[in-house]
Structure 1
């Protein structure tokens, strides 16, 4: 059975939206998807395109979206189209749109950095060694089953979220002398969400292609896209 996937990419170039999404297009095609690629979220406003989709893969960090496009996205997901993405491409998109934040259920707040005397003024200032820890639900969920806790050295997302998400993995921000918080903070790192008839999948790791090529991260994202795709 052929399914239809829409890849929407753009926004801040630091997250390598073209290279990152291109990494997963061959996988989707092997899984039987026809893949359409758009460089703007305005495609969401085209009801005729959205009606024929099974899956949306979004990689648009920050940027803006029109009211019509956002309404089209929400309607499509509520009607059964899956929405999947990673890192800022889905959890830091369209910051000014509360209806988008409600749809996804988790929003990037920050990524804590290294000690001030270790910083060199580059992106690596925010690359910290941290652990992605599977939750009990995550150890049984088809997206993350069989994957053990694993280590990454990259941006560690601090995510603001609500209780409608189902958390499959978390990461803990420790207390460090140069940060103002006073107890460890646990953030969701992988989660799913039911929205109407649709499924949403989000993974917070994925700052660049190097992180996405990590075996565990890539496996989680590949499984997550399949899980989110429209159910029969």
Structure 2
């Protein structure tokens, strides 16, 4: 049997631990028959031969930049059937200046609300909130999330800007506390899929740190998403 090929593209902001985060999933990919290629920039996206031979892209690149030829290559590969997946800022807060990239993935990080001002100490934990990831009706039946119950996390809660091409498997609701300027609760997608040409895309917004990626529900969703997004025969 010919091995499937997974391309891991990692880099960008160090705060999301792109190396440690992606290393967590490499054994799973190997155990499921993937040959792995690891790159530390999106340069590979402009290599049409490499992309044609890639069945799955796992991207973990927060912020950073992408060149026109690179995003064109990424879009073409997904349209032709290459799967694309990732978590948190590694996919939903990548390449902010590229509207073509944002259209491809279907969601862009906007903010992560914070604690009460008097409880902030000036570190990352200022934005760690207790919140719940709630499965949608679609999510309760989808292969990625079937059997996963609503689950609670204490970490960054992503507010994302999205469009209705996404198939939303889970959501999270941001309250409207008096120290933030919005006036009613806002529900954002937390897990979604998106079909683009022959390709499949899966985005999970939980995943700020390795301990969150090790949460059983988060890890299950990401690993199932890798399998689901992989190029179909």
TM-score range, shorter chain: over 0.9
Aligned residue for 2:116? Answer: 115
TM-score, structure 1 normalization: 0.99
Equivalences for 1:143-154 in 2 at 5 Å? 143-154=144-155
- Equivalent positions of 1:50-199 (< 5 A) are 50-199=51-200
User: Deviation at 1:190?
Assistant: 0.1
1:101-135 deviations in Å (ceiling 9; x for gaps): 00000100000000000000000000000000000
CA distance in 2, matches of 1:180, 1:68: 39
Aligned residue pairs: how many?
232
Q: What do residues 154-211 of structure 1 show as CA deviations (whole Å, max 9, x unaligned)?
A: 0000010000000000000011010111110000000000000000000000001010
Q: Which runs of 5+ in 1 are unaligned?
A: none
CA distance in 2 between counterparts of 1:21 and 1:33 reads: 14
Give the aligned partner of residue 16 of structure 1: 17
Distance 1:208 1:65 in 2: 24
Aligned partners of 1:147, 1:46: CA distance in 2, in Å?
38
CA distance in structure 1 between the partners assigned to 2:85 and 2:27 by the alignment: 16
Which residue does the alignment assign to 1:36? 37
Distance 1:197 1:49 in 2: 18
SS of the residue aligned with 2:25?
helix
CA RMSD of aligned residues (A): 0.4
TM-score of the pair, normalised by structure 2:
0.99
Partner Cα distance (1:180, 1:67) in 2: 36
Distance 1:14 1:87 in 2: 12
Q: In 2, distance between residues paired with 1:112 and 1:184? A: 12
Tell me the CA shift for residue 146 of structure 1.
Answer: 0.1
Q: Match of 1:83, SS?
A: strand
Instruction: Give every structure 1 segment of 4 or more consecutive aligned residues whose post-TM-superposition deviation is greater than 4 Å.
Output: none
